[in-house]
Structure 1
Amino acid sequence: MAISILLPFMPTEGKEILPFTNLIQEGAAERLWTGQSLMLEPHTALAYAAGAGANIPFGTSVTLLPLRHPFQAALQARSLAALSGHPFVAGLGTGPRPFVQALRGSTYASPLGAVREYTTIVRRLLAGETVELAGDYYGMHGALPPLETPPVQLGLGVLRPKMAELAGQIADVAITWLTPPGYLARTLLPALTRGAEREQRPRPKVTAVVHVSLDAPRREHARVILAATHAHLQAPHYQAMLRLAGIAVDPHDLLATATRLISSGTVAVGSIDDILRTVRAYYAAGADEVVLNTIGLQTVNGTAASLSALNAVAHAVRAEAAVMEESRG
């Protein structure tokens, strides 16, 4: 039962990250993840934390393809593995269509094809190979200079079956966000397995990013969850995924939709016991790692509330895992 935490904001100063890295160093969780930041570039921010003494594993969940060439992606991922002294998870994703259009001048005619080309180049560069690839979206002719570092694992953001099947073929980690545990078990996990079997390789590990809101006086969980998810709930690819999972999305009543995320067990809210119950459901559905995401608490109540919830929940999960391990021994 691996438990990790997500940096719940886009930092504007390096020192803002350090209270969250301290949670990892103190043993509350295993890895600090960050999403795509448009304030401080995420690899730069994590390099600051490593330089400030954060001797912990890091991961991105996810960084967006149009922002960097795959050579730069491989270089940045390898650099963070070297600077942190730990294996690094380089999570990749295409991003929303308008974002891709704005940066490239056109969308990907085949997002799956773009991801396959990009990931293939990054993996082969990290393996020390000379890459000769002229794709429809990305090309590479050359190699990275040799450098011994801890390993880099490649992750793919996965919402729907086709991307999950591709992740099964080419990724080390499948990263889910806002995906209900039942949908993970029924839809995504079988697709990941099909992809892996097609290539005769191990199925990628599953990292599920799960929104959290811990009980506190006057805290309205639906509003906390809405603060964390309102942008995703308005994005067509997230709406399509949630509808496929059986959760009705009403773009004209996002608060009601946030309430359905709670009632469906997609997000973890309530007491420590309530949150543990949801985390267990994700593990039972096939997640290998759960990443606690307090973006909503951070937005509504600030850093102190976010850190307090992360610390309490992460320690509770680890304590339960230790008891289970002891009972099996």
Structure 2
Amino acid sequence: MGGISVFTPFVPRRPEQLVPLGELVAQDGRGALWQGQSTLVETNQGFAFLAGAGVRVPIGVGVTLTPLRHPYYAAMEARSLALATGSRVTFGLGPGGTSFQVALRGAAYPSQLGAMRDYLVAVRQLLTGVPVQVETADFACAARLPSAPSAPIELGFGVLRPRMARLAGEVADAAITWLTPARYLREVVVPALEEGAAAAGRPRPRLVTILPIARRRARHEPYQLAMASNFAHSRAPHYIDMLGKAGIAVDAADPVAGARAIVAGGAFLCGEPDELAEMVQEYWDAGVDEIVLNVTGVYNVEGLEAALEELRVLLAMLPAGADVALVP
């Protein structure tokens, strides 16, 4: 069935904080535990700890940032997770914002698409045991990753805009989106994925959407939950550009108006249970293969116990999608 997964709604300071989330995923049995890039407990190390604690569930990394690691190390991390968990790993990669690239590399990638194509191809070849001999403007690699049987590894790619989606269609197993309305996925992202896949003569990659969501609350307006969930993203130029393409006008200088627009435009879902079920169905209908429930807004305004309860309720009430192949 279409996977319904869980996003870690906080940046762990201790790896044992992941245990209740992993147990929730194991009990539900439909999806994976996801986390973005962490600069506290590093994402891949936290997931390895979780497996060592006996909680072995499918894992999603959405996304790990390429300026932090050489492609060879990224391939090692992905396979290490698959070996440690014994479960499917969707290992998402993305370049991060240009300011992050400058801070770590001294300069932005000369070509975002070109850099990501080279990086993804190198990681894929390494994961399949193919010797890699490449030198680009961004990295060099003359090596082979020793082969070892493991659980399936999907190579994911963070996607916001059409050109990135076309590239994902060509080279990735999964396209991973964040803060993307269902209409934008249906009208922009999915066609671009299909175009890239057709050009490469391969099936369309799975579409994974990390979905900010919350039930309506008496104590907090929807826009307040949206701000608590996505304040940094709504101020980042590449997210503002994507939201603009989706018909949602966001101004970094007015975060309150931006949060209201994000709610009104369907990029942050908030409503009564029956309303949320209908909203989520729009994502399945748009072509999404895995929905990752992101209750960061609830966590930031009400704390961990409220966030865990929110996830329990949402997992119990939301419909699964149609049958999909989770691993290409």
With normalisation by structure 2, the TM-score equals: 0.95
Structure 2 unaligned residues grouped into runs of 5+: 324-328
Deviation at 1:239, TM superposition (A): 0.5
Deviation at 1:308, TM superposition (A): 0.8
- Checking the alignment, whether the CA contact within 8 Å between 2:33 and 2:60 is kept in structure 1 is yes
1:208-258 CA distance string (max 9 Å, x none):
111011233313221111011111111110001111111111223211221
Secondary structure of residue in 2 paired with 1:197: helix
Counterpart-to-counterpart distance in 2, 1:27 and 1:210: 18
Q: What is the correspondence of 1:228-243 to structure 2 with a 5 Å cutoff?
A: 228-243=229-244
Counterpart-to-counterpart distance in 2, 1:92 and 1:68: 10
**Structure 2 equivalent of residue 297 of structure 1:** 298
> In structure 1, what residue type is equivalent to 2:24?
L
Deviation at 1:293, TM superposition (A): 0.3
Q: What is the correspondence of 1:1-329 to structure 2 with a 5 Å cutoff?
A: 1-27=2-28, 29-317=30-318, 320-321=319-320
Greater shift after overlay, 261-270 or 11-20? 261-270
With normalisation by structure 1, the TM-score equals: 0.95
Counterpart-to-counterpart distance in 1, 2:54 and 2:303: 24
Greater shift after overlay, 253-262 or 225-234? 253-262
Greater shift after overlay, 271-280 or 170-179? 271-280
The alignment of Structure 1 onto Structure 2 pairs a total of residues equal to 322
Runs in 1 of length 4+ with deviation above 6 angstroms? none
Secondary structure of residue in 2 paired with 1:62: strand
**Structure 1 equivalent of residue 326 of structure 2:** none
Counterpart-to-counterpart distance in 1, 2:30 and 2:36: 17
Counterpart-to-counterpart distance in 2, 1:25 and 1:189: 30
Counterpart-to-counterpart distance in 1, 2:82 and 2:95: 23
Secondary structure of residue in 1 paired with 2:231: helix
Structure 1 unaligned residues grouped into runs of 5+: none
Secondary structure of residue in 2 paired with 1:3: strand
- Checking the alignment, whether the CA contact within 8 Å between 2:240 and 2:251 is kept in structure 1 is no
> In structure 2, what residue type is equivalent to 1:158?
V
Counterpart-to-counterpart distance in 1, 2:286 and 2:31: 20
1:28-85 CA distance string (max 9 Å, x none):
6410000011111100000000100112100100000000101010001001001100
- Checking the alignment, whether the CA contact within 8 Å between 1:29 and 1:314 is kept in structure 2 is no
- Checking the alignment, whether the CA contact within 8 Å between 1:30 and 1:57 is kept in structure 2 is yes
- Checking the alignment, whether the CA contact within 8 Å between 1:114 and 1:138 is kept in structure 2 is no
C-alpha RMSD of the superposition:
1.4
- Checking the alignment, whether the CA contact within 8 Å between 1:66 and 1:100 is kept in structure 2 is yes
Deviation at 1:110, TM superposition (A): 0.2
Secondary structure of residue in 2 paired with 1:26: helix
> In structure 1, what residue type is equivalent to 2:241?
A
- Checking the alignment, whether the CA contact within 8 Å between 1:242 and 1:249 is kept in structure 2 is yes
Identity of aligned residues (%): 41
Secondary structure of residue in 2 paired with 1:261: helix
Counterpart-to-counterpart distance in 1, 2:261 and 2:97: 24
